């Protein structure tokens, strides 16, 4: 019952507290109680409209149940795994991870007119000299970096791949080879940077085992959409619309309106 009422992406939250479960239980009970009263009062047969309404919802329920059944038949665990493996092999580029580096930096801003460019570059070089002599990079970044976001983390930029940073910054950062290597002062539109390499991650491919859960969900959704569309189109193709009757009905209704 819960699996049919609560969407998959909300089930973890649903089961997280007794209150949410109790709220659902009260809602289901209330609905059934009202429905029981409705049947006792005969509202399902009170008029032609009521009967048509009940039939409509019965047909919708049967349609949904049939669709679910056929989707399940086309998306068993083994089927999904086989399709996922095929997709993994057919699109290896999806699962490739580019080379990444973990770096930190100190940014010294330059005046907009560039009047203090030489002075700021010299300050950046002085910081490099201090770090090479044993000064704490993180402390200097926290105290002096103009990049306040990373300064709060001691200049740490985390891991990043090519294409995320300013071109000159990126070239200098990826040119560093060993943990602890420092760049010369690097000029970008933001000012002068001092960059330290913390770690490198070579390019790699995500293992199939890690990719499988995501692939399964993607394929399950594709199968669901495709199968439902096929069922609906197949059903539509068996019917024939009487265009003349439709035209007469539209004309009659339009005249009354």
Residues 166-181: what's their mean pLDDT?
97
Give tens-digit pLDDT for 30-43.
999 999 999 999 99
Q: How many other C-beta atoms can be found within 10 angstroms of the C-beta atom of residue 106?
A: 29
Q: What pTM does this model have? A: 0.60
Whether pLDDT at 257 is above 60: no
pLDDT recorded at residue 10: 75
- Sign for the pseudo-dihedral over CA of 93, 96, 97, 99: negative
pLDDT of residue 249: 85
Confidence of residue 15 (pLDDT cuts 50, 70, 90): confident
Which of 19-33, 186-200, 239-253 has the highest average model confidence (pLDDT)?
Answer: 186-200
Residue 1 confidence (pLDDT) above 80 = no
Q: 172-199 as b/e, with b when 16 or more CB fall inside 10 Å?
A: bbbebeeeeeebebbbbeebbbbbbbbe
pLDDT at residue 47 tops 70 = yes
* Distance of alpha carbon 40 from the chain centroid: 48
Average pLDDT over residues 164-174: 97
Of the candidates 169, 159, 166, 162, the residue with the CA atom closest to the CA atom of residue 195: 169
Q: For residues 21 and 221, what is the distance between their CA atoms, to the nearest angstrom? A: 27
Q: By three-state DSSP, how is residue 22 classified?
A: helix
Per DSSP, helices labelled H in the chain are 2-5, 11-14, 18-40, 48-74, 77-90, 117-132, 137-144, 148-151, 167-175, 208-237, 243-256
C-alpha to C-alpha distance for 154 and 131, rounded to whole angstroms: 13
Q: Over the stretch 83-142, which tens digit does the pLDDT of each residue have?
A: 999 999 999 999 999 999 999 999 999 999 999 999 999 999 999 999 999 999 999 999
């Amino acid at each position: 019952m819960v699996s049919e009422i609560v969407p998959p992406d909300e089930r973890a939250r649903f089961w997280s507290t007794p209150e949410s479960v109790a709220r659902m239980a009260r809602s289901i009970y209330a609905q059934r109680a009202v429905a029981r009263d409705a049947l006792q009062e005969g509202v399902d047969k009170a008029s032609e409209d009521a009967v048509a309404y009940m039939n409509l919802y019965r047909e919708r329920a049967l349609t949904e149940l049939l669709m679910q059944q056929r989707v399940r038949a086309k998306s068993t665990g083994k089927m999904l795994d086989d399709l996922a493996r095929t997709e993994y092999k057919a699109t290896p580029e999806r699962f490739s991870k580019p080379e990444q580096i973990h770096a930190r930096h100190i940014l010294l801003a330059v005046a907009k007119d560039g009047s203090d460019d030489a002075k700021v570059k010299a300050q950046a070089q002085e910081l490099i000299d201090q770090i090479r002599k044993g000064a704490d990079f993180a402390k200097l970044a926290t105290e002096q970096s103009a990049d306040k976001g990373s300064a709060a983390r001691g200049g740490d930029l985390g891991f990043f791949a090519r294409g995320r940073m300013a071109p000159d910054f990126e070239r200098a950062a990826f040119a560093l080879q060993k943990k602890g290597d420092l760049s010369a002062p690097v000029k970008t539109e933001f000012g002068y940077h001092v960059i330290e390499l913390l770690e490198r991650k070579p390019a790699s491919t995500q293992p199939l085992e890690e990719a499988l859960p995501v692939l399964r969900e993607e394929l399950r959704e594709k199968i669901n959409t495709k199968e439902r569309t096929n069922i609906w189109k197949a059903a539509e193709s068996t019917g024939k619309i009487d265009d003349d009757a439709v035209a007469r009905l539209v004309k009659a209704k339009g005249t009354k309106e």
